[in-house]
């Protein structure tokens, strides 16, 4: 006889299938709203865990296979091809899987694209773009062409006056901490557009061919931490004079097919599983529809409850990271406790901004947003 709160595994051997029993029903143990590393599809976790024990029936663990052996070379090739397919990239675009996180891209981008006497245009839209700006200044001149600092990073710039002589224009498409997102991408005619898409890549349809370089740490929509995806137009490379260390030279990584040194084998494999899942679900178009539905539900609910506040301007609100606060901070602890009791995790705002943040990455189902919405309404009713 099951009691309320009993842990039950609904399907033997399936990751993320631990549910708890509640009055005749089963509910998942956790609803994962983490900002990153964030939620991954259960099927991906399941297949990844199997590959650790026996990779494709080879009798070896994926962790024991040489990266230059055929089974892993096939993984790398399929992952690259799927990125191209899902983003509908032109054939000349190169897809790389590198290490060092998006943070390394903050310096690798200017090292490869910004000459000592050159000027790169940057938009300052939050914590992540500020970090990118700081690193670029090590390599050349930076022109901050639009900044939202004065507004406390609660909106995205209305215009981007970028000079045609800039080496490139850098944007952060989604500011994970501030909860802002570029709705209209400031595509350029003359200047390569470089984008940090760490927290919204594959979440919406964009004209990915209009970017000179895209980088994204995988640990939100693309897979696990430990690998960073780079999509680059090779025509923008090789234009700076400086000596670039091999491990930081995009051209060498292209030449070696992301195997200049040992790649993060396991992380690349989980990226492949995530990309396969993405394709099976219907691709980026379907993700965009789902993310619109999820974020509409959450924003509309929060906006309808007077005790909560949405600090971000409506036209700049992120569909990936929904940031909200309480008008009476005294109630925050109680709200956190109610979330915890409902199995909601990862809802606490970033330590630099406080409040709350619900991340709605691709793998998060609408039903989980509904759970949060029910908690918000219930809390308001009891404490309003
Ligand atoms: C938009 C954005 N850029 C960069 C980073 C840094 O990524 P990493 O930790 O992979 O260096 C993050 C991390 O959350 C991010 O959200």
pLDDT tens digit string along 175-214? Answer: 999 999 999 999 999 999 999 999 999 999 999 999 999 9
* Residue 168 near residue 212 (C-beta atoms within 8 A): yes
- 304: CA distance to ligand 1 center in Å? 31
CA–CA distances in Å: residue 191 to residues 124, 197, 365? 18, 18, 38
Q: Are strands 180-181 and 174-175 parallel, antiparallel or unpaired?
A: antiparallel
C-beta 200 within 6 A of ligand 1: no
Q: Is 103 in the pocket of ligand 1 (CB under 6 A)?
A: yes
Buried b (16+ CB within 10 A) or exposed e, 259-276: ebeebbbbbbbbbbbbbb
Return the residue whose CA atom lies nearest to atom 10 of ligand 1: 101
Cα–Cα distance, 193 to 189 (Å, whole number): 9
Let me know if 124 is a catalytic residue.
Answer: no
- Contact predicate 14/28, CB 8 Å: no
Which numbered atom of ligand 1 lies nearest the CA of 172? 1
pLDDT digits (tens, 9 = 90+) for 209-251: 999 999 999 999 999 999 999 999 999 999 999 999 999 999 9
Longest dimension (CA), the chain: 74
**Sequence-ordered list of residues with C-beta below 8 angstroms from that of 266, at least 6 positions apart, any chain:** 48, 52, 62, 63, 224, 226
What are 30-59's pLDDT values in tens digits? 899 999 999 999 899 999 999 999 999 989
Average pLDDT, the chain: 95
Query: 199 near 229, Cβ under 8 Å?
Result: no
pLDDT band of residue 22 (cuts 50, 70, 90) is: confident
Atom number in ligand 1 closest to CA 177: 16
Using CB atoms within 10 Å of the CB of residue 356, give its burial: 0 to 12 exposed, 13 to 18 middle, 19+ buried: buried
Model confidence at 353: pLDDT above 90: no
The secondary structure of residue 236, as a DSSP letter, is G
| Alpha-helical runs (H) found in the chain | 42-53, 70-87, 101-113, 127-136, 250-255, 265-281, 283-304, 332-341, 366-383
Catalytic, 182? Answer no
Closest ligand 1 atom to the C-alpha of 103?
11
pLDDT at res. 13: 66
**pLDDT band, residue 8 (cuts 50/70/90):** confident
Q: Decide if pLDDT at 351 tops 90.
A: no
Q: Residue 15 pLDDT > 70, yes or no?
A: no
Q: How close is the Cα of 181 to the center of ligand 1, in Å?
A: 14
Instruction: Over range 112-141, report the average pLDDT.
Output: 97
130 pocket-lining for ligand 1 (C-beta < 6 Å) = no
Helix (H) / strand (E) containing 194: strand 193-196
Among 222, 224, 177, 184, which Cα is nearest to 203's? 222
pTM of the model: 0.96
- Does residue 171 line the site of ligand 1, with CB under 6 A? no
User: For residue 4, is pLDDT > 90?
Assistant: no
Q: How far apart are the C-alpha atoms of 79 and 83, rounded to whole Å?
A: 6
Yes or no: say if 55 and 28 are a contact pair by the CB < 8 Å rule. no
Name, in order, each residue with C-beta under 8 angstroms of 18's C-beta and a sequence gap of 6 or more: 7, 8, 9, 10, 28, 29
Report the pLDDT value the prediction gives residue 18, as an integer from 0 to 100. 73
Catalytic residue list contains 128: yes
Distance, CA of 171 to CA of 144 (rounded, Å): 11
């Amino acid at each position: 006889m099951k009691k309320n709160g009993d842990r039950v595994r609904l399907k033997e051997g399936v990751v993320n299938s631990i549910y708890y029993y509640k009055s005749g029903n089963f509910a998942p143990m956790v609803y994962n709203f983490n900002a990153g590393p964030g939620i991954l599809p259960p099927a991906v976790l399941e297949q990844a865990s199997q590959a650790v024990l026996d990779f494709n029936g080879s009798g070896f663990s994926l962790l024991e296979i040489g990266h230059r052996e055929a089974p892993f070379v096939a993984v790398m090739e399929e992952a690259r091809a799927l990125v191209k397919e899902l983003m509908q990239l032109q054939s000349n675009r190169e897809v790389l899987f590198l290490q060092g996180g998006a943070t390394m891209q903050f310096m690798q981008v200017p090292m490869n694209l910004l000459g000592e006497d050159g000027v790169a245009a940057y938009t300052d839209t939050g914590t992540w773009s500020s970090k990118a700006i700081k690193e670029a200044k090590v390599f050349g001149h930076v022109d901050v062409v639009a900044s939202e600092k004065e507004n406390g990073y609660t909106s995205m710039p209305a215009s981007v006056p970028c000079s045609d002589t800039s080496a490139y224009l850098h944007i952060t498409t989604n500011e994970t901490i501030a909860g802002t997102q570029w709705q209209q991408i400031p595509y350029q005619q003359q200047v390569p557009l470089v984008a940090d898409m760490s927290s919204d890549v594959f979440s919406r349809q964009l004209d990915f061919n209009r970017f000179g370089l895209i980088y994204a740490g995988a640990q939100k929509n693309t897979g696990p931490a430990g690998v960073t995806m780079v999509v680059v137009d090779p025509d923008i490379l090789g234009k700076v004079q400086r000596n670039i260390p091999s491990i930081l030279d995009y051209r060498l990584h292209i030449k070696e097919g992301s195997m200049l040194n040992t790649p993060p084998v396991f992380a690349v494999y989980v990226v492949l599983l995530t990309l396969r899942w993405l394709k099976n679900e219907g691709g980026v178009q379907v993700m965009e529809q789902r993310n619109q539905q999820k974020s509409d539900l959450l924003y509309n609910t929060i906006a309808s409850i007077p005790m909560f506040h949405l600090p971000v301007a409506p036209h700049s609100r992120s569909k990936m990271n929904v940031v909200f606060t309480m008008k009476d901070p005294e109630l925050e602890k109680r709200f956190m406790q109610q979330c915890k009791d409902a199995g909601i995790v990862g809802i606490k705002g970033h330590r630099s901004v406080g409040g709350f943040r619900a991340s709605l990455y691709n793998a998060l189902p609408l039903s989980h947003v509904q759970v949060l919405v029910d908690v918000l309404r219930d809390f308001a009713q009891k404490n309003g």
